[in-house]
Every structure is written in C-alpha cells, then in structure tokens.
Structure 1
Amino acid sequence: MREEPLLTVTPAPIATLPEFYAVAFHQAQFAAQHYGAVAAHVAQGSQAISSVFETLASRETARADAIAEACSQICGAPPDLKKLPTTFRDLVPAQEVSDIAQSGLSTPYAVWALAVRHRRRAFIYWTYVAALTRDSAVRAAAERLAREALSDGNALRRERRLAWQSEHKYATEDEQSDRDASAALLESLLRRDIIAWSQTLPPAEGRRLLHVGMPGFSSHDVILPEDFETPALGEIEQIKQRALRRAEQLSNVYLDEADRAKDQSSLDFAQELATQSIARLAGLRAAAASASEPA
C-alpha cells in the first residue's frame, strides 16, 4: 500500500545527553534486530535478499556499538534505556521490514530502497531533535547523526542503483515482459489466471474466488477463452503465485499513476483503481492461504 509520511509524529524534545544516547542506541539496536530477524527468516527463500538484510543488520549493529562507546566516553556510563522518552517512535518499524520480506515481488533493489527510506527518516528525525532541544551538546550530537544519516542515504542509493541495473540486466524474459506490460494487459493476464485457478476449486469456492478477483463479474459472466484448458494439479500452485504477483504489480501501477496525476479527476480515478486493486490482492492472498491450510 501507499507509504505513510516518513515521520507521522513529531519527536519529543530531548533535554540531556544521556537521554539522547539512550534514544540513539535504542534506534540502532532495534534496526539491527529487525533487519537481522528478517535475514534469518528469508535465508532459505532468497539468499540475495537475505544478504542485503544481513548487511543492513551489520551496519546498524556497528552503529549501536559506536553510540554505546561514545556514551560511555562522554557520559561516563553506557546508554540507559530507562531514559527513553514516553513518545519514542521506532525509525525502522518491524512491520515495514516484514512487509518487504513477505512480498512476492521482493528483490535486493526493494530492500535497498527500504533502507534508503529508513535513513531518510533518520535524517528528518535527528534534524527535528536538533531543532527542538535547548541543550547545545544535544543539538551538536543530533546534527552529527543527521549528517551521518544523510551520508548513509547517499551510499545506500548507490547500492540501490546497482541492484536496479543488475535486476534489469539479468531478469528472465517472463519477468521483463510482466514489468513492461501495460495495466490493461496485466489485468487481462490476471483475469485469465483467476479463471484458471477457479476451475480447480469446488463450485462455491470458485465463485467466491471470481467475486474477489474480478469485482463486478459473476460466475455467469465468465467466458472461457477458446484455448482454455483446465490446469493440471501440478500447475495450479504456479498459477496462484503468478496471479498474486500480477495483482501486486497492478496495485503498484495504480499507486504510481496516482502519484503522477496532474488533475483531481485523474487522481480520484487512480486512487479508486488502487483501492480496488489492493482489496483484490488482499482477497487473493487470503484465498491462497486458505487453500494451503490442511483440511
């Protein structure tokens, strides 16, 4: 779905260096934990994606260690997490990381792009902290972390660009075809996959799938293509995954169209398509998960 603004809540003012280091350490520690947990989870599914998450976790672990060392040198003690403000907000939410890991379209590029977003958020966050504090030492420390986040973001963008170039160079013919396809063609291909999927289900379940995957159509409206063949049992899983991938692509296409809209009418239309597409994707994912559960 559409990403929320980078910061949805203004950070609480930080009054002292011990409080500052507690926040900075906790942010880096949480980021390392969230990246690391996903790296371990996806290791068997995609070594390339896992490697990116491992790199990000390592970077955040090193950042946490450096912050802890600085705190010990300047404050005379390691970071005290009891000093966290009550309105503390995580800069690398576990849900954002998990969503990327679970997406059927995840690639190293998508992971690097998420990391860029996280460092952009950190830059904004520490800029806010520097602006809101009345303590000159806290301001200087926050400005230092903001500059670090900006530098990190530039480095991560280079990695993102290299991943993009690599993925486009080595993409399979089917993947490249899907990526370049128009929304109309993707809708047509998705509809064919959903019809094929529905034909392998009991009649009531097939009708429900058609209702979810083709809003506005009833089972009586569906006309099978002349060359349609009911898929073999071994093909259905491939059809399901392809349908989910195309449904997710279409959600992204419509969201991108909303971003590029130049007038209110175009924006409303694209947002309506995006809303319907996202609801369809959720329904198809639920149907796929239900079918995979033991009876």
Structure 2
Amino acid sequence: MRKEPLLTAVPPVPVRSLNELYAIAFDQAQKAAQQYGALAKQTDERLLPVRPVFEVLATRERNRCDILSAACGKRPNASDLRWAPIDLVPAAEIADIRNSSLSTPYAAWALAARHRQRAFVFWTYVIALAEDPLVRRTAEQLAHEALSDGNLLRRERRLAWRTERKIDGNDAAKNDEGIDEAGSAALLESLLLRDMMAWSQRLDPVRREQLLTLDPVPLPPPFLTPTDGNDTGTKFEEIEQVKRRALRRAEQLSNIYLNDADRAADQSSMEFAQKLAAQSIVRLAGLRHLASTSGLQ
C-alpha cells in the first residue's frame, strides 16, 4: 500500500485566529469521517474484514467533529477558512485499501495511525508558524490529541499484526532496509549543523541568530558570530547548495524521528522519539521560512 509523505502536510500561511483554526480542524475531521464512513459501508466481500475497523474510525472522527463544535461554541464555519485545508487521509491511500483484495485490519489501522501522525505534523507546523499565542496553545492541544490518538491506533495496529503473522523481534530497531537509523540520525544531525553554520555566515546578525537557535540545543554565543574564515567568501551558488542540502537533511531527520516513534517498542521510547520529531519539524519549518526569505525558492 502506498504511503504518502508525512511532511507535506504544511499550512501555506500562518493560522490567524481561533475561528480559522477550528474551521480547519473541523473540515479535516469531517472529511476523514466521510472517507472512513464510505469504506465502512462498502458491501464488497473483499472489504468485509476491514469494515468494522472503518466503522470505529468513522465514529471517532464524527465524535471529533462534535468535540470541536463544543470547544468552538458553535459548528465551525467554512467561511472562516482562507485556504482549502490539507486532506490528512490521502485519497491514494484510501483507494489502495478500497481496491485491494488483500486489505486487512492491520492495513486499516495502519492507515488511521498515519492519519493521526500526519495530523501531529500538521499542527506542529501550525504551532511553529502561528503568531497568535492563543492559536499556538490551541494547536498544541490538537497536536497532543493527535499524538494520543496515534498511540492508541498503533496499539490496535500491533494487535492486528500479531494476529496475522509472527513478529521477528530482531527487526524492531531497524528500518525496512535493515539500516540502523539511530546512527544515521546522529550523522545527519552533525552534517545538518555543519550546513547551518556555513549558511549562517552569509546572513545578517538577526537572521544568523534565528538560524543557529533553530536547533533543539541552541549554540552558545561564540558560535553565533561570523568567523573570519573562508566561509564568508563562499560563492552564492555554493550557499544555495548548502541551503538545499540543509533542508533535505532536516526533512530526512524529521522522517527518521517520526518513523522511530511509529516503531517504538515501549512508551518511553515512543515519547522520546515524538519529542525529537516535534523539535525537528519546528526546525524544518524555521529553515524553510529562512530559505524563502533569503533567496532560495
């Protein structure tokens, strides 16, 4: 089954008000309820094993709509939307389950877990871009809710997996290609920091500090001042390559941490990976913003 990238769930502009935020959340929940509900009503014999799962998922999303309406004090109004909300349950993934003769409860729970993981990514971006403190706080609540939902859905997915096949515990700490991602993440973090340092040498003091404090562990003051080395004379073309490389590495790290959280074997490991993922997504959003305001398209 296809898996749409998680990090593409980026709001095009900052969310300005609570009404807009609730309208976005309501629209996303309503669409998810409709998509899950449509699969729950399928009468095709191939989908009989997954219909009960989608009935549960559709009910959860309808309940989410009710909760959002209660929190907003009214049914959120689509007129408060300034752009079409991102669909957190991609049509391609829905189609894969609907059209497959091999769809299983595991696949259905996995789809739902990715949905809520994508919601976590989306609301983390909203937090990073929001200027209104109340919008940020409410988005934090929605991001936390998405994490909690994702944890529950992953448990259901794990139970479904265990009923379908045996688990090889030796593969738990590795990705599909058998690569140890812990070492990969450490290397990428080091390379990303080097790119950020090189990038910073071509920025004014304000933007330089913004860039170098995007890291989850901000650098001490001596590192925030430009060096007298060759970096300040780096050619424009080379700096543009550094920016692109930094953005690519930041996105790779966000994906690694999200995958780590998704595959975590215990609660503490999952929470730690989720924390790293949130920090990494905020960093990615900041890097993208700086890149867009400093010449990189």
TM-score normalised according to structure 2 size: 0.54
> Which of 72, 80, 96 is the equivalent residue of 1:83?
80
* In structure 2, distance between residues paired with 1:15 and 1:93: 25
In structure 2, what is the equivalent of residue 118 of structure 1? 115
User: 2:122 and 2:133 mapped to 1: Cα distance?
Assistant: 17
Q: For 1:129 and 1:92, how far apart are their aligned partners in 2?
A: 18
Letter in 1 for 2:70: E
Alignment of 1:204-219 (within 5 A): none
Letter in 2 for 1:118: H
Q: CA deviation at 1:87?
A: 4.8
Letter in 2 for 1:160: R
Work out the CA distance in 2 between the residues paired with 1:14 and 1:96.
27
Q: Distance in 2 between matches of 1:98 and 1:119?
A: 18
Equivalent position of 2:7 in the other structure: 7
Match status 1:132 vs 2:129 = yes
Q: Following the alignment from structure 1 to structure 2, what is the Cα–Cα distance between the partners of residues 62 and 141?
A: 18
Structure 1: segments with no counterpart, 5+ residues = 170-255, 263-295
1:158 paired with 2:159, answer no
Does 1:38 find its partner at 2:39?
yes
> Which amino acid is the alignment partner of residue 15 of structure 1?
R
- Kindly report which structure 2 residues correspond to 1:99-114, keeping only aligned pairs within 5 A, or say none: 99-114=96-111
Question: What CA deviation, in whole Å up to 9, does each residue of 1:270-292 have, x standing for no partner?
Answer: xxxxxxxxxxxxxxxxxxxxxxx
Identical amino acids, percent of aligned pairs: 55
Contact 1:13 1:133 in 2 (8 A): yes
Q: Please identify the structure whose Cα radius of gyration is greater.
A: 1
The secondary structure found in structure 2 opposite 1:7 is helix
List aligned pairs for 1:39-58, cutoff 5 A. 39-42=40-43, 44-58=45-59
Number of aligned residues = 173
State the distance in 2 between where 1:42 and 1:10 align.
Answer: 35
Q: CA deviation at 1:37?
A: 0.6
Structure 2, unaligned runs of 5 or more: 167-174, 181-297
- What's the CA shift string for 1:117-144, capped at 9, x where partnerless? 1111000100111111111111111000
Assess, with a 3 A threshold, how the Cα gap between structure 1 residues 2 and 109 changes in structure 2: closer, same or farther: closer
Residues 1:167 and 2:164 are matched in the alignment: yes
Q: Deviations over 1:22-74 (max 9, x none)?
A: 001001000000000111125643332000011110000000110011111xx
Q: 1:52 to 1:2 in 2, by over 3 A?
A: closer
Q: CA deviation at 1:2?
A: 4.9
Aligned pair 1:146/2:143, yes or no? yes
CA–CA distance in structure 2, aligned partners of residues 129 and 261 of structure 1: 32
